[in-house]
Structure 1
């Protein structure tokens, strides 16, 4: 089997990731983060559509009145389809014209406007702090676990890979000004767990090969281990992404969770191969030079 020279190209790969993060930081400084209704509060409108409808046609109508919104659908006990619209910028005075456009297109009745209300932020400062605390504690726990199972250098490399995945995901949201809601927090914590799982597969192979190939240097050892596990990593990631993309397309109500999850899982596979392993080699070689 031909061995891929991944470690030798690590500097180029680091630059690519750094470029995305710097671009995200620039957009963050310029425009900030687009917090959704869960963070900032806003307007909630619920409409009984009765039957299936063309989502794109409805969103074209909503766009006339609000430039930032999210939509969800649900089915009630009568098997009727209900539409939920959340927006930060939708004014109360625009709700009736918005509903009238949708009502005329789909021949609805006045009573099909189920509710309209202004809601406060569901995700307060306290919840954001707790989410950050959960993320930090999870990373500390994973660092301890990897350090005990492997060695401390593996743990540091794994945590840096997770931080990389989170920063890339946040950068994408900052660049494209995608609204961040409570589901984003859940997705970030899920990404951390997936990323460490993918990284451990490669690290486990490195540990096995260390015992078999005692005379091979750390760079070659990492290249061999990555080559041996790459097909598994790619296949696992692709099957997972196919599932998540399918959920994103066919289950609109969980799109806010599925979208960041898809980005994070793709980044997780990338970082496990192109970030975590090269960082481990750098730490390993640094120790050898110091010795």
Structure 2
């Protein structure tokens, strides 16, 4: 953003901070004045996100995942949900299954609604005799109806799933993840800078770990659709981060030569200026996912749509939090380790102390107007420098004139 057109009040001065605190939350969101000091509380966010990641990693390490039949292998038996005695209860199906072979199935659930609803029973790999015993017991007890409305043994089907198929999906997903991270890293380094790329990648890793950790903690079943959904959230996870970083880059252009704001303040202002956009984008993106979850679970039953919606909902929420509360504070942490930005922050602090002393001198009527004129001249020089840094010259002559003005030399010829 061009410093000449920046009419946003600076929330760095004590009086302006007090004014910002009096505004309502919605007013501060829409105006983006930097009233939400997110970067200033970065240590709190670091501790919170670190604890969350430790919990997720611990759950994955000790509890593991509830892997679907595609990853562990096994046998699946399927039949219509309508029987001669009415609707078939999945729990009743599990009891009949266990009574037939003396082994409980891993899962029994209804998929779909209405006439298209089916009952799916999953278990460990069964041999041919065990499958025949289970199918016969289910037909005898439940009498599932065929398309003609009559009980039929042929409507009970079985299929065997090999664990190698799920393993192949996992390998392909990991390969895609590795390629994605490499390409994103190259783009961020070229377009932004090293520390922005590192901060964005840390936020991305956080989103992946938290999403997987939530699945482990809650016990959601991991299916191939879950793996596909995890890959789809990677782009969304980086979207908000890139938008915020682009604004940070714009706000901090030429910052080392200015004393209006420190790097943390400029980054926090950029975060506030894009905060409402991040919220609106996230809400608009989450609404279809919630709709997909409702349709997939309530109308169609547990299945591929539900698995996709669950992982996308979890990953998007994690991505929103990390892009706002983790990525930019982490960038500030890295940048403030640079002595150049530390020295610039000291100059900002010294200038504000000087302003505070002069304000106190005015109140005691012990003030030299020449000091105020010098301060105003300094501010004008900084604004001119910021304008020149923000808007590069279109041709060499204009650029030369900008350089002459910054050096205090007249643009025209000298009068003899």
1:68 deviation in Å? 3.9
Q: Does 1:227 align with 2:272?
A: yes
1:116 deviation in Å? 1.7
Q: Which runs of 5+ in 2 are unaligned?
A: 1-32, 96-103, 298-302, 343-416
Q: Does 1:274 align with 2:325?
A: yes
What does the per-residue CA deviation read over 1:228-268, in whole Å, with 9 as the maximum and x for residues that have no partner?
11111111111211110111111244111110110100111
Q: Distance in 1 between matches of 2:143 and 2:327?
A: 50
Q: Say whether the 8 Å CA contact 1:123–1:182 is kept in structure 2.
A: no
Q: Distance in 2 between matches of 1:7 and 1:62?
A: 55
Aligned length: 281
What does the per-residue CA deviation read over 1:207-226, in whole Å, with 9 as the maximum and x for residues that have no partner?
12123865422211121111
Q: Say whether the 8 Å CA contact 1:46–1:114 is kept in structure 2.
A: yes
1:37-186 correspondence runs (5 A): 37-49=69-81, 58-61=89-92, 66-68=105-107, 72-73=111-112, 80-83=115-118, 85=120, 87-88=122-123, 92=131, 94=134, 100-101=141-142, 103=144, 109-111=151-153, 113-121=155-163, 123-186=165-228
Q: Does 1:284 align with 2:326?
A: no
Residues 1:69 and 1:8: Cα distance change in structure 2 (over 3 Å): farther
Instruction: With the length of structure 1 as denominator, give the TM-score of the two structures.
Output: 0.83
Residues 1:241 and 1:172: Cα distance change in structure 2 (over 3 Å): same
Please provide the CA RMSD for this pair: 3.1
* Aligned counterpart, 1:251: 296
Q: Distance in 2 between matches of 1:116 and 1:249?
A: 29
Residues 1:202 and 1:182: Cα distance change in structure 2 (over 3 Å): same
1:44 deviation in Å? 2.2
Residues 1:36 and 1:19: Cα distance change in structure 2 (over 3 Å): same
Q: Distance in 1 between matches of 2:270 and 2:220?
A: 37
1:103 deviation in Å? 4.2
Q: Does 1:260 align with 2:345?
A: no
* Aligned counterpart, 2:284: 239
Instruction: With the length of structure 2 as denominator, give the TM-score of the two structures.
Output: 0.60
Residues 1:23 and 1:243: Cα distance change in structure 2 (over 3 Å): same
Residues 1:123 and 1:17: Cα distance change in structure 2 (over 3 Å): farther
Q: Distance in 1 between matches of 2:71 and 2:319?
A: 26
Q: Say whether the 8 Å CA contact 2:233–2:312 is kept in structure 1.
A: yes
Higher relative contact order (CA 8 A, sep 6+): 1
Q: Distance in 2 between matches of 1:235 and 1:4?
A: 17
Based on CA coordinates, which of the two structures has the bigger radius of gyration?
2
1:17 deviation in Å? 2.1
Q: Which runs of 5+ in 1 are unaligned?
A: none
